[in-house]
Structure 1
Amino acid sequence: MTPNTDITSLEDIKLLVNSFYSKVQEDALIGPIFNEKIMGRWPEHLEKMYRFWQTILLEEHTYTGSPFPPHKQLPVNTQHFDRWMALFTETVDHLFTGKLADDAKLRAQNMAQMFNYKIEYFRNAGRN
């Protein structure tokens, strides 16, 4: 598929989220971590991700909550976030092109860096 349109609708968000998390579930590095954490609740997780990205990218406020706490105790590090980001970027670039597609990648990168930093912070604080 050649990128030809930007992210403009909830249907685009669903395509992005479903495509991305299909790759995540199969990935040798991060798949086992996600699959163990979510434990068969993928439809529920995907619905939450639709609302999250719909709120972030389309400014249609359907997501409520705090995205960090469920990730706080994950056994992940920079390598895992780099892989997550590579899969996300690959998925966006395969499906979309445009301002919101670029914004999705930037926001994902910022989130990955922040989550990685916070996880490391809490992990190190627990050692003291």
Structure 2
Amino acid sequence: MAIDEAFISRLVETFYKRALAHPELGPLFDAKLSGRWSEHMEKMKSFWSAVAFRNGAYEGKPVQAHLGVANMTPQLFSNWLELFAATLSDIAPNKDVETWFMTTAERIARSLALSLFYNPALDDPKYNNQ
């Protein structure tokens, strides 16, 4: 894909700089990560490195890390994806890299959102007919 650890680092640093400046994402991230930004940045670099290179660099638990985040809503995942897409559009070395990372981010966001917000009762036909 023509990427390396330097690209992963740039992607993470650029995205989170923008996330902190975002009117909705910034306060959420800052409240959760205040005083732990450098640790989080290294963790996210390990995460994306593990995803991109399948190198086992990440050993965290993403769902547990997002549980109990104050003021988190499903809509914020859309905001996150929009910002991630804009970041990739600006820094990805080519369209293949942009597409692969965006497709992967969408899958991850969907998985996290389902883990955090899915209510199986909503699939019950007796609720869908009302």
Please state which band the TM-score falls in when normalised by the shorter chain.
0.7 to 0.9
CA contact (8 A) 1:8 1:58 kept: no
Aligned residues: 118
| Percent identical | 27
| TM-score calculated relative to the size of structure 1 | 0.84
| TM-score calculated relative to the size of structure 2 | 0.83
Asked if residue 104 in structure 1 is aligned to residue 111 in structure 2, the reply is no
What RMSD over aligned residues (CA atoms) do the two structures have, in Å? 1.7
SS at 2:16 equivalent = helix
The AA in structure 1 aligned to 2:16 is Y
Q: Whose RCO is larger (CA < 8 A, sep 6+)?
A: 1
The CA deviation string for residues 4-47 of structure 1, in whole angstroms up to 9 with x for no partner, is xx551100000000000000011101110100000121110000
Match of 1:56 in 2: 51
SS at 1:68 equivalent = helix
Match of 1:120 in 2: 117
- Structure 2 residue runs of 5 or longer lacking an equivalent are 122-130
Query: Which residue of the other structure, out of 65, 71, 74, is the alignment partner of 2:60?
Result: 65
Match of 2:89 in 1: 93
The CA deviation string for residues 84-109 of structure 1, in whole angstroms up to 9 with x for no partner, is 00000100111012433321111111
- Structure 1 residue runs of 5 or longer lacking an equivalent are 1-5
Decide which moves more: 108-117 or 15-24. Answer: 108-117
